[in-house]
Amino acid sequence: MQIYNPSQLYNRHVQEQASEAVEEHLLSGDSFLKIKEAYPDSLYTPNFFIRIALALLTAVAVLFSAGIFGLMFWSSDESIIISLVFLALISYAALELFVQKKWFYNAGVDNTLMVAIPVFIVAAFFVADFSFDTRLLSAVMILLCGWLCLRFTDAFMAVLCYVFFFIFLFTNIIQFGSLARMVAPILMMVCSMAIYIFFQRLSAAGSFNSYRGCHKAITLSALLTFYISGNYFVVNKLSIELFGAPLTTSPLMAGIFWFFTVSIPVLYVAFGIVRKDKMLIRTGLLLIAAAIFTVRYYYAIFPLEITMFIAGMLMITISYALIRYLRTPKYGFVFRIKNADTIPVEQVESLITADRFGTTAPVDTGFEFGGGSGGGAGASGKF
Amino acid sequence: MDGDLFKKLLQENLITEREFENVAQHQKTVSLFVELRSVLYLGIAFFSTAIGILIYKHIETIGHDVLVICIALVCVACFAYCFKFGKGYTNEKLSSPNFLFDYILLLGCLLLLTFIGYIQFQYNVFGNRWGLAVFIPMLLLFAAAYYFDHIGVLSLAITNLAAWVGIAVTPTRILRENDFDGNRTIYAAILLGVGLLLISIFSTSKKMKAHFSFTYKNFGAHILFIALLAGLFHFEPAYFVWFLVLACFSFLAFRHAIKERSFYFLVITALYAWIGLSYVIIELLTSTSDGMTGLYAVFFYFIASGIAFIRLLIYYNKILKQHANL
């Protein structure tokens, strides 16, 4: 079923683990070379910057190919739909060809082609007089993205498949009368939780699996959908949008969703610390911010700048205290400064700094105060 | 990290006992480096923004004099800290004495900019000589960047230098806030780009803070490429001359990227060159053929050139692969 040989993916995994260990100065370069020889990597993944450029150039080529089809078959809806499906097929054929002949693996070209396929199909659905059916669309997308994920062991396709599965489930549940609508958020939460536990188990069992990346991506998505399904803002707005009346009118329902909104992020962080699970900690931190925004949306107790002042002070104090505290390992946690020689974080950081605080060009207007943006990039890093 | 895997590698005699122990030891602890630093950085951003808004709203009650003095005091305190703990100037790369040092230096430099901007805005210290109000902080920033060895401050200094010349150069502003239709801007940008590239070469050859070379080169190359493209788009009748200049510079940058084995410069050179080439070819195609034929030709050109550049990059990726570098 999968296009790659499991041993190819395994060798790649070994090399990645080994290079990570070298970056942390745990392995000597000598051993790394030995490992590289014993587990040769036959997959083709170029340098990071090259990958970005390849993805861009592929997107240009695909878009203009679509443009040529558009110029030729602009006559009727049917011909447009047929040409879109045809384009999706061509993209798929090209993808298969590149991977089988050259073993492209996250090389930029294959990623763009893979994304192009569902995009063309969705576009084909939209052409049909906008009378598309969400349930049909999501069912088709589940099958399509699911197949791409299985065939190319691609994590992004796994996420897409999960998202469409979620939409499919939700749109079906709300068909079953008002009671189903009432409990829909809870059902979606239960479903997310079940999927989280299932994939967590799946990736824990056995040491290596070709779909590790996909499992991780799905567990992360499940964590997010678990929170989103119970978030007061989402439930309130979505029920008004879809059912005409908010689900959160009764104090009991409102209380339940407020409880979910505030407690889930904290629980994530707490569980993450107990189980030493970084994904839980990071997601929890991110969602704490989401919880604060949700509360502020409905109850603006303090003006924005006071909230930011307090939050900023708390964040600085807590993180600085923890950084000092974790200089030496405590309870299995540590603040280990990453070696800056291996990653050019400095360069990236310096650019961001110059961008956010740098002087603007012609200085006729003088300096303005209070114009700074406090957005920031959120908790960065790979999941 | 995958513990079972390293056990297997040990059994296969690919790693030594000690290396396995290293990994096992490493696995016992989880590093919260990224998490804590992100929270700290965001906290600083929130805090400083909140202070900015608060001051802005209450400026009438605080009074400008008090505020200026406060900014100056904190700024002086930051620099005092840096002078106390800094290691002094050398031509080589310095590691920062502690975790906070870099942030405090950065804060001091940002406050310095605020201070000078403030006294100019409020008290008009430099009168109408706006250039001076940018030139002085620029000198101080360059001095701080070299003395304390801080790439972030160097980037600030370069941004100020560009502001002094009259253009905005940071990533989100370079296209939005510059009037690249003005001849003056284009020529100023070209001079600035060439100047920065020369400083970059000088830093490496004289071994004077050689690790700053990348920052100069990065700013210089982007500014020069964008200025040349702007020239190409702007000077309608003479566009071929500009294209030749762009081609020459692309060639030099390309050779440099190959020599330095820099994937990054290879990619940006290829992309800028591709944009320039595409512009010229579209001009030629649309001026020689009419309506639909021209349109088809343009579309086919983009498909063909996209594929050609993909092949080119894949080829050079293979060549550079031996010695990976930024």
Nearest to B270 among A14, A53, A362 (CB): A53
Least confident piece of the model among A336-340, B99-103, B300-304: A336-340
B292 contact A CB<8A: yes
A2: pLDDT strictly greater than 80: yes
Mutate to test the interface with A, among B62, B102, B155, B322 (most CBs of A within 10 A): B155
**Shortest alpha-carbon distance between residue B279 and chain A (Å):** 15
Nearest to B159 among A57, A315, A354 (CB): A354
CA nearest A288: which of B268, B129, B254, B39? B39
Asked if residue B90 belongs to a domain, the reply is: yes
Is residue A358 within a helix (H) or strand (E), and if so which, with residue range? none
Query: Which pLDDT band holds residue B172 (cuts at 50, 70, 90)?
Result: low
Whole-angstrom distance, CA of residue A54 vs CA of residue B286? 27
Q: Which residues pair with A104 in a beta bridge?
A: A44
Residue B208 exposed, middle or buried by CB count within 10 Å (0-12, 13-18, 19+): middle
Chain A residue closest to B168 (CA)? A361
Asked if residue B315 belongs to a domain, the reply is: no
Chain A residue closest to B274 (CA)? A57
Asked if residue B105 belongs to a domain, the reply is: yes
B17: pLDDT strictly greater than 80: no
Please answer yes or no on whether A355 and B38 come within 8 Å at the CB atom: no
| One domain, residues B107 and B156 | yes
**Average pLDDT value for residue range B81-98:** 80
Q: Which pLDDT tens digit goes with each residue over A92-101? A: 999 999 999 8
> Which residues touch A75 (CB under 8 Å, ≥6 apart)?
none
SS3 breakdown of chain B: % helix, strand, coil, rounded to 5? 80, 0, 20
Q: Where a domain ends, among B111, B141, B165? A: B165
B322 contact A CB<8A: no
Nearest to B106 among A308, A351, A353 (CB): A353
> What global pTM score does this model have?
0.82
Query: Which pLDDT band holds residue B268 (cuts at 50, 70, 90)?
Result: very high
| One domain, residues B91 and B146 | yes
> Which residues touch B80 (CB under 8 Å, ≥6 apart)?
none
> Which residues touch A62 (CB under 8 Å, ≥6 apart)?
A91, A112, A113, A116
Nearest to A346 among B1, B151, B300 (CB): B151
Rama region for B124: left / alpha / beta (φ>0; ψ in -120 to 50; rest): left
Asked if residue B47 belongs to a domain, the reply is: no
Answer positive or negative: Cα dihedral of A185, A186, A187, A189.
positive
Whole-angstrom distance, CA of residue A201 vs CA of residue A215? 10
Least confident piece of the model among A172-186, A249-263, A359-373, B222-236: A359-373
Please answer yes or no on whether A354 and B12 come within 8 Å at the CB atom: no
B19: tokens are 């290396």
Nearest to A38 among B14, B156, B302 (CB): B14
AA identity, residue B316: Y
| One domain, residues B90 and B20 | no
DSSP per position, B32-96: -HHHHHHHHHHHHHHHHHHHHHHHHHTHHHH-HHHHHHHHHHHHHHHHHHHHHH-----SS----
B42 contact A CB<8A: yes
| One domain, residues B24 and B67 | no
Whole-angstrom distance, CA of residue A282 vs CA of residue B8? 31
Whole-angstrom distance, CA of residue A371 vs CA of residue A360? 12
Number of residues that make up chain B: 326
Whole-angstrom distance, CA of residue B160 vs CA of residue B168? 9
Q: How many CA atoms lie within 13 A of A196 on its CB side?
A: 17
Nearest to B214 among A338, A347, A360 (CB): A347
Chain A residue closest to B172 (CA)? A355
Asked if residue B210 belongs to a domain, the reply is: no
C-alpha distances (whole Å) from B168 to each of A361, B151, B173, B175 are: 5, 19, 6, 9
Is A251 or A139 the better-scoring residue by pLDDT? A139
Least confident piece of the model among A123-132, A212-221, B255-264, B282-291: A123-132
Nearest to B30 among A34, A333, A355 (CB): A333
**Shortest alpha-carbon distance between residue A230 and chain B (Å):** 25
**Average pLDDT value for residue range A100-109:** 89
| One domain, residues B72 and B161 | yes
- Contact list in A for residue B158 (CB cut-off 8 A) is 354
**Shortest alpha-carbon distance between residue B96 and chain A (Å):** 12
Please answer yes or no on whether B310 and A305 come within 8 Å at the CB atom: no
A81: pLDDT strictly greater than 70: yes
Query: Which pLDDT band holds residue A313 (cuts at 50, 70, 90)?
Result: confident
Please answer yes or no on whether A35 and B34 come within 8 Å at the CB atom: no
Q: Which pLDDT tens digit goes with each residue over B141-150? A: 999 999 988 8
A376: pLDDT strictly greater than 80: no
Question: Do A36 and A15 form a contact (C-beta atoms < 8 A)?
Answer: yes
**Average pLDDT value for residue range A327-356:** 61
Is A166 or A133 the better-scoring residue by pLDDT? A166
Average pLDDT, chain B: 84
B16 contact A CB<8A: yes
Q: Would you state the pLDDT for residue B177?
A: 64
Please answer yes or no on whether A27 and B133 come within 8 Å at the CB atom: no
Question: Do B144 and B105 form a contact (C-beta atoms < 8 A)?
Answer: yes
**B9-12 long-range CB contacts below 8 Å, 24 or more apart?**
B9/A14, B9/A18, B9/A35, B12/A38
**Shortest alpha-carbon distance between residue A54 and chain B (Å):** 6
| One domain, residues B25 and B78 | no
Q: Assign A76 to helix, strand or coil.
A: coil
Asked if residue B123 belongs to a domain, the reply is: yes
Nearest to A319 among B40, B52, B178 (CB): B40
B168 contact A CB<8A: yes
**Average pLDDT value for residue range B268-278:** 94
Q: Assign A127 to helix, strand or coil.
A: helix
**Average pLDDT value for residue range B37-65:** 82
Number of residues that make up chain A: 383
Question: Do A151 and A2 form a contact (C-beta atoms < 8 A)?
Answer: yes
CA nearest A246: which of B181, A84, A257? A257
| One domain, residues B90 and B7 | no
DSSP per position, B261-299: T-HHHHHHHHHHHHHHHHHHHHHHHHHHS-HHHHHHHHH
Q: Where a domain ends, among B165, B185, B210? A: B165
Is B98 or B102 the better-scoring residue by pLDDT? B102
Answer positive or negative: Cα dihedral of B116, B121, B126, B128.
positive
B35 contact A CB<8A: yes
Rama region for A381: left / alpha / beta (φ>0; ψ in -120 to 50; rest): left
Domain count, chain B: 2
Chain B residue closest to A16 (CA)? B1
Nearest to A337 among B1, B15, B33 (CB): B33
- Contact list in A for residue B310 (CB cut-off 8 A) is 54, 57-58, 61, 109
The single-letter DSSP state of residue A44 is B
A373: pLDDT strictly greater than 50: no
Chain B residue closest to A372 (CA)? B49
ipTM exceeding 0.95?
Answer: no
Please answer yes or no on whether B50 and A46 come within 8 Å at the CB atom: no
Query: Which pLDDT band holds residue B174 (cuts at 50, 70, 90)?
Result: low
Q: Where a domain ends, among B109, B130, B165? A: B165
| One domain, residues B71 and B7 | no
Question: Do A135 and A176 form a contact (C-beta atoms < 8 A)?
Answer: no
Please answer yes or no on whether B19 and A31 come within 8 Å at the CB atom: yes
Domain containing B10: what range?
Answer: 1-30
Q: How many CA atoms lie within 13 A of A120 on its CB side?
A: 28
Whole-angstrom distance, CA of residue A58 vs CA of residue A109? 6
**% of chain B with per-residue pLDDT over 70:** 93
Please answer yes or no on whether B156 and A376 come within 8 Å at the CB atom: no
B2 contact A CB<8A: yes
Rg (CA), chain A: 24
Average pLDDT, chain A: 82
Please answer yes or no on whether A367 and B120 come within 8 Å at the CB atom: yes
Listed by number, the residues of chain B in 252-281 with a beta carbon closer than 8 Å to a beta carbon of chain A are 263-264, 266-267, 270-271, 274
Question: Do B38 and A380 form a contact (C-beta atoms < 8 A)?
Answer: yes
Chain A residue closest to B50 (CA)? A305
Chain A residue closest to B21 (CA)? A26
Please answer yes or no on whether A323 and B36 come within 8 Å at the CB atom: yes
DSSP per position, A167-205: HHHHHHHTTSHHHHHHHHHHHHHHHHHHHHHHHHHHHHS
Asked if residue B57 belongs to a domain, the reply is: no
Q: Which pLDDT tens digit goes with each residue over A117-156? A: 999 999 888 887 655 688 888 999 999 999 999 999 999 9
Least confident piece of the model among A84-88, A105-109, B107-111, B126-130: B126-130
Q: Which pLDDT tens digit goes with each residue over A188-217? A: 999 999 999 998 888 776 566 788 888 989
| One domain, residues B159 and B72 | yes
Please answer yes or no on whether B159 and A353 come within 8 Å at the CB atom: no
Q: Would you state the pLDDT for residue A359?
A: 47
The single-letter DSSP state of residue A338 is P
Mutate to test the interface with A, among B11, B22, B29, B51 (most CBs of A within 10 A): B29
C-alpha distances (whole Å) from B216 to each of B94, B156, B200 are: 18, 12, 5
Q: Assign A333 to helix, strand or coil.
A: strand
A342: pLDDT strictly greater than 50: no
B62 contact A CB<8A: no
**Shortest alpha-carbon distance between residue A362 and chain B (Å):** 6
B124 contact A CB<8A: no
Q: Would you state the pLDDT for residue A277?
A: 86
Asked if residue B317 belongs to a domain, the reply is: no
